[in-house]
Amino acid sequence: MPDLRFTEQPLSDWMRTDAADSEIVISSRVRIARNLQHLPFPMLATNQQSEEVLSKLTDVLGYEDVGRFGTFHIVKMADTDELDKKVLVEKHLISPNLASESRNGAALINEDESVSIMINEEDHLRIQCLYPGCQVKEAWQNATAIDDAFEAHLDYAFDDERGYLTSCPTNVGTGLRASVMMHLPALVMTHQINRILTAVSQVGLTVRGIYGEGSEAIGNLFQISNQITLGQTEEEIIENLHGVVLQIIEHERAARSRLMNESMLRITDRIMRSFGILSYAAVVESKEAAQRLSDIRLGVDLGILKNPSIQVLNELNVMTQPGFLQKKFGEVLNAGERDMYRAKLIREQLSTD
């Protein structure tokens, strides 16, 4: 049986610590894509070849220099039921692609869930490091150290001109994707968000939803990440992202100040209405829950609400997702039932915090 510790609790341990700018930056993530030399990329690999990749990568865990990064637990997709895989996606520990389409796919997850190494996803190896708040530099330092430890025992696919070779051409070069998850309600409310996001796209960055490429930005949560992996060093990519994020933080803070100065009654009414609806509603759809939880988070950040805590709001962001709802209540739920249980769960959390 697979180790299901990672699907039992909604909040990863790494999210329980305070960090800089965490009222706006929910999390920072760095992902490094690598492939092994002389083996086909996962989409072209036979079952035997993907098994060989899995064996090589799990064997590396036995080396002392890799072991210093802590204990990793192997979660094989073939041994994990669909509901647990959905929860792992909702907690950002694996990608939707690994959950649904991988052959001999697996994830190596450390104790506090801050490191997740996906095997046989789009590439043979994807090292992901997660940190709370605006800590993209720290996430990069940890990810590259883990990458160096793995590379000491593996023969990576590398070209002198193109850099690290990856399944998707957009990752060729450094193989690096760095991103931050930002809560930007004031920029949305003051109608500045489109201008900001347009400016972001002009400096080599892109904006995605909470589950990455192709996903929708809901609850005023936006994932800002680098778009270019070739022609820049890893350090340049990280510095560019970090600098832009700091500017967006300042714009969001200025927009929040403007709301408080010019629209105090209106913003307070909106926040209190969302708190009241979620405190008493019998049915809440997923998008409405995300939007109203965003309002409540803003209310806490602005000092309009004393409760709930940010930790409870972080938990609710995961607990209200379809997979975790079904996991918590122990049954398969249709859309209507999920809306009912979502409302029940939110009511309970808001009344006890």
Which residue numbers belong to the known binding site for ATP?
27-31, 92, 126, 177-181, 208-213
For the chain, report the end-to-end CA distance as a whole number of angstroms.
35
Sheet of strand 205-208: strand arrangement: 72-76, 106-110, 115-119, 125-132, 25-34, 176-183, 221-226, 205-208
Taking every pair of Cα atoms in the chain, the longest distance, rounded to a whole number of angstroms, is: 64
Instruction: Report the distance separating Cα 217 and Cα 236, nearest Å.
Output: 27
- Those residues with Cβ within 8 angstroms of residue 48's Cβ, 6 or more apart along the chain or in another chain: none
Are 259 and 267 in contact by the 8 Å Cβ rule? The answer is yes
Element (H, E) at 146: helix 136-151
Q: Which tokens hold the place of 272?
A: 């209190």
Q: What residue type is assigned to position 102 of the chain?
A: S
Beta carbons of 206 and 198 less than 8 angstroms apart: no
Which residue ranges make up the annotated binding site?
Answer: 27-31, 92, 126, 177-181, 208-213
Do the beta carbons of residue 210 and residue 184 sit within 8 Å?
Answer: no
Q: Residue 167, SS3? A: coil
Task: Name the token pair of 67.
Answer: 């072991």
Distance in angstroms (rounded) separating the CA atoms of residues 186 and 254? 9
DSSP letter at 170 equals G
Do residues 207 and 193 make contact, with C-beta atoms less than 8 angstroms apart? no
